[in-house]
């Protein structure tokens, strides 16, 4: 609680408060996979607007490459830059 007349050091700050996102990690993921997921999401949020694509466990490398190509085309068509 602040005292009457106290100056709020954040007054006029145009930066939004950071939000907290919560993810439920699948029970079959080990700690290394969960940490990697967290780091990838954090990097995406730090670097720009993240695009998330769910991939089945049994997806082939060719299917994953096709998804990546489709996402890159979508980003390009939207006039955005991929990192």
Determine, yes or no, domain membership for 10: no
Determine, yes or no, domain membership for 2: no
Range of the domain at 56: 31-77
Contact status, residue 66 vs residue 53, Cβ threshold 8 Å: no
Q: How far is CA 21 from the centre of its chain?
A: 9
Determine, yes or no, domain membership for 9: no
- For residue range 13-24, list pLDDT tens digits in order: 566 667 787 888
Determine, yes or no, domain membership for 4: no
Domain count for the chain: 1
Can you tell me whether residue 83 is helix, strand or coil?
Answer: coil
C-alpha 39/C-alpha 33 separation (Å) is 10
Determine, yes or no, domain membership for 15: no
- For residue range 22-59, list pLDDT tens digits in order: 888 889 999 999 999 889 888 888 877 777 788 888 99
**pTM score:** 0.49
C-alpha 70/C-alpha 82 separation (Å) is 13
Determine, yes or no, domain membership for 67: yes
C-alpha 81/C-alpha 48 separation (Å) is 9
């Amino acid at each position: 609680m602040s005292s009457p007349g106290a100056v709020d050091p954040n007054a006029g700050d145009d930066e939004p408060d950071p939000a907290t996102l919560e993810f439920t990690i699948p029970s079959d993921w080990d700690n290394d996979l969960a940490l990697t997921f967290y780091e990838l999401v954090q990097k995406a949020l730090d670097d720009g607007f993240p695009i998330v694509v769910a991939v089945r466990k049994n997806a082939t490398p060719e299917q994953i490459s096709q998804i990546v190509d489709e996402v890159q085309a979508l980003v390009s068509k939207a006039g955005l830059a991929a990192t």
